[in-house]
Amino acid sequence: MSTDTPFRDITVAPPADGRAVPRRPDRTAPHRPASNEHSLLAAHGGLLLVEHLGTVAYRPTWELQDELAHQRRARRIGDRLLLLEHFPVYTIGRGGNEANMLAGPERLRAIGAELIRIDRGGDITFHGPGQIVAYPIVELRDPLDLRRYVRILEAAIIDSAAAFGVDAERLAGLPGIWVEGRRKLAAIGVRVKRGVTTHGLALNVNTDLRWFDEMIPCGIPNKGVTSLAREADTPVPMHAVEDELARQLARHLGLRTSDGAAGVIGPAGGREG
């Protein structure tokens, strides 16, 4: 009987110098965009299905993300990107400080907004008209490189802003994307559960920046907030920014974009007429 076999004899202990595969990557490694040779994602078909949902309420969209993430883990759907605007809402992530919400309940009712504590990382942020929110529902490879995933979101925002003449950057130690190190252009807050991402980023395009006066954005005092329209000194077409952001996210994730079918996305991730 041949002794050639790809399997190790489990009755024999592994070599003393054997090392377990690390569950997290080297945090000191430089950032690299995803590619066929160095993928960030697992079990994907090379496509990012882009869903343009229009203006939607926050809670149903949160529930939709969870349902799509469940289907992604079961490999019933591929990688998705939800692009949308929200009705006015302030959200606070895990561990966020509610003291950063300056407006009380009566003020929130007066301005037509609500406050919701949610399950993403990060502190407090605002979502509302004129702001593009992107929720990638993608499966990350094991070991999970969350730091690299966030870097990819940052790079996609920076490249999207550059396409509209706005020079943006990341700041060490501060979340989000900034202009001139003083004005926040975009917020990032993500969650990864059993390898699949939810939540994502919010990019101020034509946002009424007075909404941010009601809070301390991301819990960072003494910093301003801005938008593409403010920096460009002219309104910016929302659909053009959506298309560019989808293209940049797909490029940095190593995917190609594909548009979803027409209709309203249903609770099971399918389409309703």
Tokens describing residue 128 = 């509302």
Give the residue numbers marked as catalytic.
Answer: 218
**Residue 12: what pLDDT?**
57
pLDDT 10s digits, 161-202: 999 999 999 998 888 999 999 999 999 999 999 999 999 999
Tokens describing residue 203 = 């990019």
pLDDT above 80: residue 203: yes
pLDDT 10s digits, 231-256: 999 999 999 999 999 999 999 998 99
**Residue 59: what pLDDT?**
96
Nearest CA to 201 among 39, 57, 83, 44? 83
**Residue 219: what pLDDT?**
81
Give the pTM.
0.82
Domains and CATH numbers, the chain: 47-257 (3.30.930.10)
Residues with Cβ within 8 Å of residue 177, at least 6 apart in sequence: 154, 157, 158, 161, 168, 169, 170, 184, 185, 186, 188
Angle between helices 146-163 and 238-253 (to 10 degrees): 140
Residue in the structure block whose two tokens are 């979502």:
127
Q: How many residues does the chain have?
A: 273
pLDDT 10s digits, 216-228: 887 888 889 999 9
Phi, psi (rounded to 5 degrees) for 185: -95, -35
* Helix ranges, 118-220 (H): 146-163
pLDDT 10s digits, 74-131: 989 999 999 999 999 999 988 888 888 999 999 999 999 999 999 998 889 999 999 9
- Determine the Cα–Cα distance for residues 243 and 21; give it in Å rounded to an integer: 39
DSSP H or E run through 137: strand 131-137
Tally: H helices and E strands in the chain: 5, 14
